[in-house]
Structure 1
Amino acid sequence: MTTQLFEGKEHASLYQKYRLPPPDEVQKLILSYLEAKKQRPFSLAVDVGCGTGQSTRALAPHFEKMVGTDISKAQIEEAKQSSSASNISYCVSPAEELPFEDSSVDLVTAAAAAHWFNIEKFLKEVDRILKPSGCMALYCYQACMEVHYKDCASKLTAIFTECYNSLAIYTSKNTEIVYSEYEAIFNAIPYTDKKRITQMVHKFQMPVADLIGLVKSFSMFQTFLQIDPEAAKKLLQKTEQRFLEVMGVTSNETIVEIWAKHFCVLACKPL
C-alpha cells in the first residue's frame, strides 16, 4: 500500500500553503506528450497522490473531468476547501486501488508523490485504467534547492543546504528514489514508449517566510518535529535568522528566488 504520511490536518495545511506549484514547462511537456498520442478532447485525467490539489487544479482546464485522489483524508479535505473549477472532484483512495473503470482514463499524473507508492502495484493499476494510447506522467523536484538574492546566492544556498543536510537523517527510504530522478521507476514501466526528462531548472519567487514554510512541509522535517519538537523549531528559526543576516534585511517577507531542479517520467500505453 501507499506509505501513509502527511496525515495530519496541520501538515495538510502546510502543504496547501507552501508546496511548489507544477511549473508551466512541466505542464506543457505533459500536455504536448499526450497530444502527440491522443486527439483532443481529453475526457478524464486522474492526479494520484494529489495532496491538497495544486497539480490537480493546474491541469484541470485541459480535461472534461479531473479527479484528484490521495490516501490522506486530511489532504483531500484541504483540497476540497480550495476554490476549484466545476470539472474537478476529489476522493480518498490508495494509489494501488484506484476507483476507475478499465480503460477509462486519458492521463494519470503524480506530482511529487510516486516515490511513496508501491510502484509495482501502482503501475499495474495504471495499466488497468488507462485507455489505449493513454499516458502517464510522474514528476517531482529535488528538495535541496538554490536560494538567490542579489549577490548572496552562494551563501544563502550554503545555509539552505546545511539545513537540508541536518534533516537528511530523518529522510524516509521512499525518498531515495528522488535523488536518482525516478530512474528506478522509469526502468520499471513496462511500456516501450517512454521517456525521462531531467535537470529542468525552474525559478520561483517567494518570501523568506514561505521558504521556511516549504521546509516545514517536508516529510523529513515533520519526522524531526515529532522526535524533537524544540530542536526542529530552533533549526528553522536559526536558518531564517541566518538568511536575513546574510541578506542584510530584517523582514522575513523579503522576496528570494528559488531555483529547483525538476524531472519528469512520461509513458504511453500501447494500442
Structure 2
Amino acid sequence: MKDNFSSQSDLYAKYRPHYPKEFFEYLISVVKNKDIAWDCGTGNGQVAKELSKIFSNVYATDISASQLNQTIQAENIEYSLQPAEKTNFVENRFDCITIAQAIHWFDFDLFYKEVMRTAKKKALIAAIGYGRIQISEDLDRIIDDFYFNVIGNFWDKERKYIDEHYKTIPFPFKEIKTPEFKIECNWNEEQLIGYLNTWSAVKHFTKLNGRNPVIEFQSLMKPFFENQKERKVSFQLLLRMGFVT
C-alpha cells in the first residue's frame, strides 16, 4: 500500500469532503450484524466516526502515523498503525469492512486474502470513494484542464481506478446493486483551493518542480467567486458493496 498522505495530513483532515448521511443510512439497512466493524485506510477517521454510531466497536487502521494523529475520537473506536494487507486481527472478527478512498492503493490480492481471513461469514464489505469534483460547466472545464494537462503526468497509476469509477477494481465478493449517492456541499474559494492542495499529483508536481501549480491556477478561479462567496460542489460517490461468502 502506498502512503501519499502523511505529508500535509492536517490539510487532508480539513479539506476532504464528507460522505453523505444517506449512504450510512443505506449501510445500516444492508449490514446484517452491527457488532464489530473495521475501517481500513481510515485516514483521519471520518468514516470510522460514522461507523461508531452504528456498530458497538470499530477498529480503524492506516499506515500513516501523521494521519492517525488527526483522527476523530470516540470511545468505541480503536485506531492502530497497520497495513491493510497484514494485520494483527484474529480470524472471523468483523461484521463489516469499509475502505474509503483508499482501496485503489492496496495490493488487491493480499488485501482480499486478509478480508477473507478476518471477516465473519456474510460480513459486508464496502469500497467507497468519490470521483472528480463538479461545480459548474465553465469551472469544471478549467479544473479538468488542470487535472489532465497541468498535473496529469504526476498522478500515480492507481488514480485510473478513480477515473474508471471503481468499476475496474477486482471485487471477489457476492456483489449487490447499490443506489447512486452524491456528496454535496457549499465551498468558498479557500476550501476549494485547500482541497486541490490535497491531491497527490499536486504534491508530486511541487516536489519535482519546486513550485505549487495550484498557486498559479488560483487566479483562474477567482472570477467564479466574485459574485458569490460560496459555490455548490458535488462528487459522485463510487461504491462497490457485497458480502463475504
- TM-score, normalization by structure 1: 0.84
Residues 239-250 of structure 1 aligned to structure 2 (within 5 Å):
239-249=217-227
TM-fit CA distance, 1:7: 2.3
**Aligned twin of 1:59:** 51
Residues 117-132 of structure 1 aligned to structure 2 (within 5 Å):
117-132=106-121
For residues 104 and 179 of structure 2, the distance between their equivalents in structure 1, rounded to whole angstroms, comes to: 16
Q: Structure 2 counterpart of 1:110, which letter?
A: I
The structure that is helix-richer by fraction is: 1
Deviates further, 176-185 or 126-135: 176-185
Q: Structure 2 counterpart of 1:112, which letter?
A: Q
2:178 maps to 1:178: no
Are the equivalent residues in 1 in contact too, given 2:42–2:62 (CA < 8 A)? yes
TM-fit CA distance, 1:96: 0.3
**Aligned twin of 1:255:** 230
For residues 180 and 159 of structure 1, the distance between their equivalents in structure 2, rounded to whole angstroms, comes to: 20
- List runs of 5+ in structure 2 lacking aligned partners: none
Q: Evaluate the alpha carbon distance shift between residue 198 and residue 53 of structure 1 in structure 2; reply closer, same or farther with a 3 A threshold.
A: same
Are the equivalent residues in 1 in contact too, given 2:186–2:233 (CA < 8 A)? yes
TM-fit CA distance, 1:154: 2.2
Aligned alpha-carbon RMSD (Å): 1.8
**Aligned twin of 1:27:** 24
**Aligned twin of 1:150:** none
Are the equivalent residues in 1 in contact too, given 2:13–2:44 (CA < 8 A)? yes
Q: Evaluate the alpha carbon distance shift between residue 131 and residue 91 of structure 1 in structure 2; reply closer, same or farther with a 3 A threshold.
A: same
**Aligned twin of 1:161:** 144
Are the equivalent residues in 2 in contact too, given 1:145–1:161 (CA < 8 A)? no
- List runs of 5+ in structure 1 lacking aligned partners: 148-152
Of 100, 125, 129, the match for 1:111: 100
Residues 35-50 of structure 1 aligned to structure 2 (within 5 Å):
38-39=32-33, 42-50=34-42
Are the equivalent residues in 2 in contact too, given 1:30–1:266 (CA < 8 A)? no
Are the equivalent residues in 2 in contact too, given 1:43–1:64 (CA < 8 A)? yes
Residue aligned with 1:161, SS: helix
Q: Evaluate the alpha carbon distance shift between residue 196 and residue 263 of structure 1 in structure 2; reply closer, same or farther with a 3 A threshold.
A: farther
TM-fit CA distance, 1:53: 1.0
Kindly provide the CA deviation profile for residues 196-238 of structure 1, in whole angstroms up to 9, marking residues without a partner as x. Answer: 54863332112111111111111111111111232x2xx3234
For residues 80 and 142 of structure 2, the distance between their equivalents in structure 1, rounded to whole angstroms, comes to: 39
Kindly tell me the number of residue pairs found equivalent between the two proteins. 244
Are the equivalent residues in 2 in contact too, given 1:127–1:269 (CA < 8 A)? yes
**Aligned twin of 2:172:** 190
Q: Evaluate the alpha carbon distance shift between residue 68 and residue 261 of structure 1 in structure 2; reply closer, same or farther with a 3 A threshold.
A: same
Percent of aligned pairs sharing the same letter: 24
**Aligned twin of 1:146:** 134
TM-fit CA distance, 1:118: 0.2
**Aligned twin of 1:14:** 11
Deviates further, 60-69 or 200-209: 200-209
- TM-score, normalization by structure 2: 0.92
For residues 223 and 29 of structure 1, the distance between their equivalents in structure 2, rounded to whole angstroms, comes to: 36
Q: Structure 1 counterpart of 2:134, which letter?
A: E
**Aligned twin of 1:5:** 4
Q: Structure 2 counterpart of 1:190, which letter?
A: P
